[in-house]
């Protein structure tokens, strides 16, 4: 859950758990709006559609607000875009605030890379290779060449951004055109090969916490593409031009130093079953042993059998839980929401409201358990959905009862892993450097993230990416008397 960006949403998960209280969100973008050749007949259509989807993506996931790093990505992208074939789109570049290493292009020139991708990259050439590939998708109008365009789905708060993959043929074309762009722009056309190799190794280790699909899943055929792009790079004539990082390797690493690796404190973090949100000043405990999820719209847990879930989300501004509940009920009527009980209760010293009822699902009726709690001039809703309420109701009640203010003691449990740089010593191995630096990465992980073989020995003086756990300092929270 991102600070100050929460929006009302619907339940998600197994059996769609009803496009459930689904009417609380009406932002689903379907292929009827964005997909298919008839909707993307011209470049003007590309710009219109891409702009709409870009706004949705930015709202759903947020952007990394680092002026220097954004400027760096923008400069590389614009240098490449000047050489792009076809229609001269107004290309725009942004960094998605997500841990998964990914990049995607929207029609009309909207290019996104994730902070996870930046953290995995080891040179300006690699980043240029990725951006060139995405620019090629836009320039060649690949979105219009498919039956449908993958777009963010906002049906439920537990759903994530869905960017559908291109075909292998289109990927091959984007590689070819993208490598040509990088060479003409003065970058090593082999940069994309180096990045794909690191990404393939990372996928095998299955590191990180992903809300976005990885670059591998959205850009298929990676192993073959490594060989193909390497062969093509050896055949492209190019001449090095000065980059924007000072130096292609060390300068690039200096640019990305300080990036958060993994969940950020401002999104809230899980510590076991307990969720801590220091910026909003609350904590809540979800059922032990369930699968936990944290998105920009909601945070919650799904039972292992996928027959129940409970999540917390922002239900709107104000201090009156009854008013928020009435609005939610009214919107839910079209989805068949029916309320059977309504009880005033006390939670954390506040007047709260608990509702029980049912909603239509694909496989029949599902039970709904909703608790509305006022908190900091807003109303939060804790919603439980279950096929069998008798089995899950105690979990839903206990989850609502666990909602409480953060304390200084709990804040001490909130930390972030940040990317830092150390200099290697002569003849040092990955294991020795990992031990000396105190990084949270294993030697194998250290090698993959730095694009090195497991048997690598350093000459001495090389900059190496590591991670350090650093205490998170909440933004905009006045701590007094041990509570926010």
CA angle in degrees (0–180, nearest 5) for 458-461-467: 80
Query: What pLDDT does 89 receive?
Result: 85
Regarding whether 246 and 277 lie in a shared domain, the answer is: no
The more confidently predicted of residues 267 and 343 is: 343
Query: What pLDDT does 457 receive?
Result: 97
Query: What pLDDT does 205 receive?
Result: 79
Over residues 465-478, the pLDDT tens digits come to: 999 999 998 876 55
Regarding whether 330 and 198 lie in a shared domain, the answer is: no
Helix (H, G, I), strand (E, B) or coil at 462: coil
Query: What pLDDT does 241 receive?
Result: 94
Query: What pLDDT does 26 receive?
Result: 19
User: What percent of the chain shows pLDDT beyond 90?
Assistant: 55
Regarding whether 323 and 211 lie in a shared domain, the answer is: no
The more confidently predicted of residues 286 and 7 is: 286
**195 domain residue, yes or no:** yes
Over residues 195-248, the pLDDT tens digits come to: 999 988 888 776 554 455 566 666 655 677 888 999 999 999 999 999 999 877
At 272, the pLDDT band (50, 70, 90 cuts) reads: very high
**387 domain residue, yes or no:** yes
Regarding whether 217 and 169 lie in a shared domain, the answer is: yes
Query: What pLDDT does 167 receive?
Result: 73
Regarding whether 167 and 47 lie in a shared domain, the answer is: yes
**286 domain residue, yes or no:** yes
Closest CA to 370 of 406, 419, 331: 331
Does the pLDDT value for residue 87 go beyond 70? yes
Number of domains in the chain: 3
Give how far the C-alpha of residue 188 lies from the chain's centroid of Cα atoms, to the nearest Å. Answer: 29
**26 domain residue, yes or no:** no
Regarding whether 186 and 60 lie in a shared domain, the answer is: yes
Regarding whether 223 and 88 lie in a shared domain, the answer is: yes
Regarding whether 218 and 157 lie in a shared domain, the answer is: yes
Q: What is the mean pLDDT of residues 364-380?
A: 92
**5 domain residue, yes or no:** no
Does the pLDDT value for residue 146 go beyond 70? no
pTM score above 0.75: yes
Regarding whether 311 and 216 lie in a shared domain, the answer is: no
Closest CA to 163 of 34, 356, 343, 355: 34
Of 213-222, 312-321, 453-462, the one with minimum mean pLDDT is 213-222
Regarding whether 341 and 194 lie in a shared domain, the answer is: no
Q: Show the tokens assigned to 361.
A: 């699902």
Of 48-57, 209-218, 337-346, 469-478, the one with minimum mean pLDDT is 209-218
Q: What is the mean pLDDT of residues 413-442?
A: 96
Of 11-15, 45-49, 236-240, 273-277, the one with minimum mean pLDDT is 11-15
Domain that holds residue 107: 35-258
The more confidently predicted of residues 111 and 211 is: 111
Domain end position, chosen among 205, 225, 258: 258
The region, left, alpha or beta by phi > 0 then psi within -120 to 50, assigned to residue 363 is alpha
At 362, the pLDDT band (50, 70, 90 cuts) reads: low
Domain end position, chosen among 258, 281, 315: 258
Regarding whether 333 and 207 lie in a shared domain, the answer is: no
347: domain CATH number?
3.40.1000.10
* Mean pLDDT, the chain, whole residue set: 82
Query: How many Å apart are CA 438 and CA 447, to the nearest integer?
Result: 15
DSSP, res 164:
P
**476 domain residue, yes or no:** no
Regarding whether 322 and 372 lie in a shared domain, the answer is: yes
Query: What pLDDT does 3 receive?
Result: 46
Phi, psi of 429 (to 5 degrees): -90, 170
Query: What pLDDT does 428 receive?
Result: 97
Rg (CA), the chain: 24
Does the pLDDT value for residue 81 go beyond 80? yes
At 24, the pLDDT band (50, 70, 90 cuts) reads: very low
Query: How many Å apart are CA 478 and CA 484, to the nearest integer?
Result: 6
Q: What is the mean pLDDT of residues 52-77?
A: 88
Over residues 30-47, the pLDDT tens digits come to: 232 334 444 667 777 777
Q: Which long-range contacts (CB under 8 A, 24 or more apart) does 31-36 make?
A: 31/147, 31/148, 31/149, 31/151, 34/148, 34/149, 34/151, 35/146, 35/147, 35/148, 35/149, 35/151, 36/147, 36/148, 36/149
**7 domain residue, yes or no:** no
Query: What pLDDT does 391 receive?
Result: 84
Does the pLDDT value for residue 2 go beyond 50? yes
At 49, the pLDDT band (50, 70, 90 cuts) reads: confident
Domain end position, chosen among 258, 279, 312: 258
Query: What pLDDT does 483 receive?
Result: 47
**462 domain residue, yes or no:** yes
């Amino acid at each position: 859950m991102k600070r100050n960006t929460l929006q009302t949403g619907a339940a998600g998960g197994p059996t769609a758990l009803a496009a459930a209280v689904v009417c609380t969100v009406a932002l689903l973008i379907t292929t009827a709006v964005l997909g298919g050749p008839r909707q993307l007949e011209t470049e003007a259509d590309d710009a219109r559609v891409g702009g709409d989807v870009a706004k949705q993506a930015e709202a759903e996931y947020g952007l990394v607000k680092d002026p220097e790093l954004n400027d760096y990505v923008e400069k590389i992208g614009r240098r490449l875009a000047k050489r792009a074939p076809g229609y001269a789109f107004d290309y725009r570049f942004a960094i998605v605030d997500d841990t998964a290493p990914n990049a995607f292009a929207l029609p009309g020139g909207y290019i996104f890379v994730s902070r996870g991708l930046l953290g995995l990259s080891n040179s300006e050439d690699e980043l240029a290779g990725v951006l060139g590939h995405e620019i090629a998708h836009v320039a060649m109008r690949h979105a219009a060449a498919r039956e449908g365009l993958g777009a963010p789905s906002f049906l439920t708060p537990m759903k994530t951004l869905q960017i559908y993959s291109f075909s292998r043929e289109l990927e091959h074309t984007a590689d070819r055109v993208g490598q040509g762009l990088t060479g003409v722009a003065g970058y090593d056309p082999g940069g994309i090969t180096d990045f794909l190799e690191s990404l393939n190794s990372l996928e095998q280790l299955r590191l990180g916490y992903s809300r976005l699909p990885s670059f591998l899943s959205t850009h298929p055929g990676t192993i073959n593409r490594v060989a193909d792009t390497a062969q093509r790079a050896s055949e492209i004539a190019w001449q090095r031009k000065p980059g924007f990082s000072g130096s292609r390797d060390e300068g690039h690493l200096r640019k990305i130093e300080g990036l958060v690796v993994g969940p950020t404190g401002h999104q809230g973090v899980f510590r076991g079953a307990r969720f801590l949100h220091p910026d909003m000043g609350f904590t809540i405990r979800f059922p032990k042993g369930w699968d936990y999820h944290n998105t920009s719209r909601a945070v919650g847990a799904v039972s292992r059998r996928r027959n129940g879930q409970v999540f917390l989300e922002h239900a709107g501004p104000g201090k009156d839980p009854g008013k928020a509940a009435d609005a939610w009920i009214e919107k839910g009527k079209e989805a068949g929401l029916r309320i059977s009980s309504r009880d005033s209760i006390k939670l954390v010293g506040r007047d709260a409201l608990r509702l029980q009822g049912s909603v239509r699902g694909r496989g029949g009726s599902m039970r709904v358990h909703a608790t509305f709690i006022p908190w900091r001039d807003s109303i939060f809703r804790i919603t439980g959905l279950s096929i069998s309420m008798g089995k899950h109701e105690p979990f839903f009640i206990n989850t609502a009862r666990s909602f409480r203010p953060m304390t200084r003691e709990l804040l001490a449990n909130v930390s972030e892993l940040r990317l830092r740089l150390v200099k290697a010593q002569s003849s040092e191995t990955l294991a020795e450097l990992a031990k000396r630096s105190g990084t949270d990465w294993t030697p194998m992980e250290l090698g993959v993230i730095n694009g090195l073989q497991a048997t690598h020995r350093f000459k001495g003086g090389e900059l190496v990416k590591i991670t350090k756990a650093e205490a998170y300092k909440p933004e905009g929270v006045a701590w007094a008397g041990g509570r926010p």
